[in-house]
Structure 1
Amino acid sequence: MKIILTLVAVCGYLVSYAQFDLKGHMKNLPTGETVIVNAPLVFGYFDDMNTPLTTDEDGNFSVKLPLDEEKIGYLRWGDRQAFLWMRPGTDLTVELDGSNGQIAFGGNMAEANALLHKLELWKAPLFFTDSKRVAVNEMQTRIIQPYLKQLAAKITKVDASPLTPSEKEFLKAELHYHFIVYVDLYVRTARWPREEWSNFIIEFMQGETPQPKSALQGPMYYSFIDAYVGFLASRAFSNRDDPTKFAKSLKSVYGVSSFDSLMSLAHEHGETFLNWMAVKRAFDANTTERYLAQQIKGKYDDGEVSTGNRLFEALELHNRNSTYLDTLTSIRASLMKRMATINNDIIVPDDYRTFQQIKTFVKQFQGKVVYLDIWGTWCGPCKEEMRYLPSIKEHMEGKNIVFLYLDMDDDEKDNKWREYIQANAITGVHLRKNNDDIQAIWKELMPDDASKHGRYPTYFIFDKHGNLVADDIKRPSDGKDLVKQLEEYL
């Protein structure tokens, strides 16, 4: 009986090469329990960088991890997780009870890890998890001030700990960035009028600087980078009514002095490229290189080939001696090989864009159940759901079912759409409409509920006779529940 654990390394900075000795004991873990192993290039999580740890029959494990940089990682088991602070040349012992999530640490990294775990930096604060957002004039009294009290209490714990000054500096920096990032996300998802949230962000972020607050940059600092770029953009666009001031602001943030030039770059290379242009001007060279390398990895992992290649060219141009180039070159070569492979199960019909009615289009699949997924390459939740599709299709293999995809993207994004479905091997029949043309499809599918039009992703099922059926359509992430629902109509 073996239990697979996973170690996820999410950030780091360069130090001398050494090893990190990790050992411990796990109890009360279900047989076959998996904790996702991941060692990303710089920060973040990617499935293809997993590293499993295997326990023996008694739940003991021991592994020596080669490290050339200090990292913050975490163990995941089931729906639980714990950060790990890993430093080359040190050791850590973990005692974990899988039934209640209790975890204890030993070894010379014990105190740092115990405090890191108590701070729960991997969790979103309670104010963010409440789906009901407060009004802008209530932010200070109901959100910011109460959370600052909690933050102060955590900082007091850090200051009272026996950790070294640099370790305390890192934890306090991550706590600060955690606060900034989640307030920023809260405001941007509050559905306030654009001017209200933009003005709030400008005022809230005014005192922030791009310089990291500690020598070790953690995952919250890298999340802060995107928040800071958003602040710079909001501040620049607040000058839009003054052409001269607006041009200077755009030049300062992005290096271009006209809105048309900015939009041209956005259409050609994507928002991530614009963000990198801003990062390059605001942050130090080391941070910029790390940020760019991670964005390239992210785009390749996501199947956004053209954007990834453009960013890769930027890394080659601005960081010719980057230590990330070899790894990224290998990743790109593998992706290009996959792109060049013809997949006959990816079908883009001749009328993929010109078809008029979805119900008429579906009639050609008489005798088969059709699962319709309305999505967009720009839609994060849509793409996240697609990660669950391979297992769904495996369960439905050999059965009379068609997976039909209707993408909503601008016509100039046609190549990007094709790249995405090819790079991610999304088998099935693919259609695309722009935002104007897809409105007729929404009306056709939901004539009596306009409030649900334009919600991405949305799913529909057509039975073997081409009739639209079922109200509560399951998502791919619903797994077996979706399989069961589809089988009801076979």
Structure 2
Amino acid sequence: MKKYFLWAFALCSFSVHAQHADVKIKFIGAKSNEATIILPVENTYFWPNKIVKKFEADSILDLSLNVGKISRVNIVSNFKNYIFYIEPGKSTVELDFRKNALSPILFKGANAEGQVLINKKAYEYFQDAAMEYSAADTTAIGLKAKIESDKEKELNRYTSLLDQKKISPSFYQLAKNELDYFYKGTMSYAVAHFFFSSQRPNSTVKFKKEHADLWEELYRNHSFTDSQALLTTDFYEFARYYTEYYKGVYSQYQKNVKDDRANLSSDELIIRTYTGFEANFKGKVREYMLASLLFNEAYQEKFPKMLITLTEKFNEEYPNNKYSPLFEDKIDEIVKFHTAAKADYTSEQKFVVDYARVNTVDELLGKFKGKTVFVDLWATWCGPCKAEFEYGEELEEFLKANEAEMLFISMDKDAADQQWKDMIKFYDLKGYHIRTNAALQKDLIDKLWGGKGYSIPRYLILKDGKIVVDKALRPSSKDKLYEQISSYLMKKEAE
């Protein structure tokens, strides 16, 4: 059995006196052979502080940590995110990804039953829970009662384990904090849902005084000064909703000021959120919230220029912070993006002639008669779309060698026009380009998705002006995709 060693040094969670912890992680039945280990930063949950490691089917990852009294470790693999609170000593984690596995999680070490319990949450995201609660009961009294009842039931399980001395007081407090912010976030988002839904034209949803009172009660009774809350999964989103929705949009609504966020640029939105965090938080919480905002915005790869300025400002205010070095590569990418945007288009970056006036799919396809074309439907806001650009160079070489063409169709709206053009340069997207107008986008949605919205990335293969494959493989499929395209090459017929 092969072993891989990960030497990582997590800052102490509850004590300045670091102690040693060895964790063996075994993966069973994993389809993906990649695991991400997320470690705390100064006793806070900060996603960029991670180690990504490949493993084989029969392998064990050995994780060696310096911890305090207890430390949070997240393991992300095969589309699942696990939370463990590790104490000094030796622990073993078995993650079984097989369908119908009797024990998906086995833990040997301190707080074993608590470790399994905390990974049995019904919802991974409190936003999903909020939507179900708000659909089940539209009254503020009923909503609050149900959420608090469910929270108490979950907490009682940990209380029972604590009473039986099966978990430590430190583990219990961390689990309690995790539940607390999950359900606070759920309640805040549910109330926000009622508010924003009521603002839509012709909406039948009512935002009543009882909802407003519940929102006010939730935040009035909360202090944003507890640094231990920064180790929970949901604190950041809960606190962000406080500044953006409750203190921001709702407070303005009470003054009869309309929500203007739709009219703001990405830079203006980021500045508003950043200054909101500055005004509403203090001390360690403020530093954490600002750092998390900068990372989250940079991670989306929309490349807002203002992030460069705000990161410089953050580093000046917190010169010894441990956060910004973990996402400085993302800020460097933003600098490169805006440098690339100043350059001219290359001869291989071409726009469909008169593209703004192309209103139908047939009209667009007619421009590519006599050719084999691989089509990439994407948008500047689509992360998975942009992730596939990594495989573009090899695809371009294949298409060029086989006298085939590349067509990029952007589903972006008019407001993203410049962003679309800049991304063509930054990602060096060789081929033909078109951004859909409203008519063309509607026709695409009708023909490809049956008029029921759309999902991207999506890929097509055209031959002689007609769609011959409406769900082609992704560029990351490489040889399998090239084989798929080869079946429709025009030059084969010529030969």
Taking structure 1 as the reference length, what is the TM-score of the superposition?
Answer: 0.72
Structure 1 partner of 2:172:
168
Find out whether 1:272 has 2:270 as its counterpart: yes
Match of 2:65 in 1: 65
The answer for the alignment partner of 1:223 in structure 2 is 237
Other-structure match for 2:293? 295
Distance of aligned partners of 1:204 and 1:31 in 2 relative to their CA distance in 1, 3 Å threshold = closer
- Which structure would you say has the larger Rg? 2
| Partner residue in 2 for 1:251 | none
Judge conservation of contact 2:378–2:411 (CA < 8 Å) in 1: yes
Aligned partner of 2:351 among 341, 349, 352: 349
Distance between the aligned counterparts of 1:335 and 1:416, measured in 2?
A: 12
Aligned pairs for 1:234-313 within 5 A:
234-241=249-256, 266-267=264-265, 269-305=267-303, 306-313=305-312
Change (3 A) 1:176 1:23: closer
- Output the amino acid matched with 2:215: M
Could you tell me how far 1:71 is from its partner in structure 2? 4.8
CA contact (8 A) 1:3 1:34 kept: no
Query: 2:408, 2:395 → 1: CA distance?
Result: 17
Helix, strand or coil: the match of 2:351?
coil
Report the Cα offset of residue 205 of structure 1.
2.4
CA distance in 1, matches of 2:4, 2:183: 33
Q: TM-score, normalization: structure 2?
A: 0.71
| Counterpart position of 1:205 | 215
Q: How many residues align?
A: 458
What residue identity is the alignment partner of 2:375? Y
Q: Are 2:199 and 1:194 aligned?
A: yes
* Residues 6-62 of structure 1: CA deviation (Å, up to 9, x unaligned): 99999996853746523336364358733334558764656x94332757x964443
Contact 2:378 2:456 survives alignment (8 Å): yes
Partner of 1:232: 247
Secondary structure in 2 matching 1:172:
helix
Q: Which amino acid is 1:406 matched to?
A: S
Q: Distance in 2 between matches of 1:197 and 1:478?
A: 47
Aligned ranges for residues 385-424 of structure 1 at < 5 Å? 385-388=385-388, 390=390, 398-399=398-399, 400-411=404-415, 413-422=416-425
The alignment partner of 1:36 has SS state of strand
Among 95, 107, 110, the residue aligned to 2:109: 107
- The answer on whether the counterparts of 1:7 and 1:74 sit within 8 Å (CA) in structure 2 is no
Map 1:450-461 onto structure 2 (within 5 A). Answer: 452=451, 455=454, 457=456, 459=458, 461=460
- Against the structure 1 CA distance between its residues 184 and 20, is the aligned structure 2 distance closer, same or farther, given a 3 Å change threshold? farther
Shift in Å, 1:404 = 0.8
Q: Is the 8 A contact 1:27 1:96 kept in 2?
A: yes
Instruction: Report the CA distance shift for 1:297/1:338 in structure 2 as closer, same or farther (over 3 A).
Output: same
- How far is 1:153 from its partner? 1.0
Counterpart amino acid of 2:115? N
| RMSD, aligned α-carbons | 4.9
Per-residue CA deviations over 1:266-322 (Å, capped at 9, x if unaligned) read: 326143332222222222232222222223223333323314213313313543443
Q: Which runs of 5+ in 1 are unaligned?
A: 247-257
Cα distance, 1:112 vs structure 2: 5.3
The amino acid that maps onto 2:175 is: L
Distance in 1, Cα, partners of 2:233 & 2:460: 40
Cα 1:271–1:452, aligned 2, differ >3 Å: closer, same or farther?
farther
The separation in 2 between residues aligned to 1:466 and 1:140, in whole angstroms, is 59
Select 2:185's aligned residue among 172, 181, 184: 181
What is the alpha-carbon distance in structure 1 between the residues aligned to residue 236 and residue 119 of structure 2? 19
CA distance in 1, matches of 2:33, 2:151: 34
Kindly provide the amino acid, as one letter, of the partner of residue 367 in structure 1: K
> Counterparts of 1:458-473 in structure 2 under 5 Å?
459=458, 461=460, 463-468=462-467, 473=471
Deviations 1:116-168, CA, capped at 9 Å, x for gaps: 334567466985686x9737736764x65444322111111222314455543
Given that 2:36 and 2:53 are in contact with CA atoms closer than 8 Å, whether structure 1 keeps it comes out as yes
How much does 1:398 deviate?
0.8
Are 1:152 and 2:152 matched, yes or no?
yes
In structure 2, what is the Cα distance between the partners aligned to 1:183 and 1:231?
13
Instruction: Note closer, same or farther for the CA distance 1:447–1:407 as it changes in structure 2 (3 Å cut).
Output: closer
In 2, the alpha carbon distance for the partners of 1:270 and 1:22 equals 46
One-letter identity of the residue aligned with 2:182:
H
CA contact 1:6–1:36 (8 Å) conserved in 2:
no
Alignment of 1:126-141 (within 5 A): 127=129, 134=135, 137=138, 141=142
**3-state SS, counterpart of residue 51 of structure 1:** strand
Structure 1 counterpart of 2:398, one-letter code: G
Structure-2 separation of matches of 1:79 and 1:7: 24
Q: Deviations over 1:174-196 (max 9, x none)?
A: 21221233355556668833274
Q: Please tell me whether the aligned partners of residues 7 and 63 of structure 2 are also in contact (alpha carbons under 8 angstroms).
A: no
- Against the structure 1 CA distance between its residues 453 and 330, is the aligned structure 2 distance closer, same or farther, given a 3 Å change threshold? closer
Q: 1:8/1:463 Cα in 2 relative to 1: closer, same or farther (>3 Å)?
A: farther
Distance 2:77 2:254 in 1: 49
Q: 1:326 to 1:456 in 2, by over 3 A?
A: same
Runs of 5+ consecutive residues of structure 2 not aligned to the other structure: 490-495
**Quick one: structure 1 residues 439 and 126, their matched pair in 2 at CA, closer, same or farther if it must change by over 3 Å?**
closer
Task: Report 1:49-60 matches (<5 A).
Answer: 49-52=50-53, 59-60=59-60
Q: Name the amino acid aligned to 1:286.
A: K
Note the C-alpha offset of 1:424.
5.5
Distance in 1 separating the partners of 2:128 and 2:337: 42
Tell me the distance in 2 between the aligned counterparts of 1:31 and 1:263. Answer: 41
Question: How far apart are residue 333 of structure 1 and its match?
Answer: 3.5
AA aligned opposite 2:65: L
Tell me the alpha carbon deviations over residues 347-391 of structure 1, each in whole angstroms, 9 at most, x when there is no partner.
36386864544654554544122424153x3x4xx3334434545
**C-alpha separation between the residues in 1 aligned to 2:430 and 2:6?**
30
Distance 1:37 1:29, change over 3 A: same
Name the CA distance, whole Å, in 2 between partners of 1:90 and 1:355.
Answer: 67
- Measured in 2, the distance between the counterparts of 1:330 and 1:390 equals 17
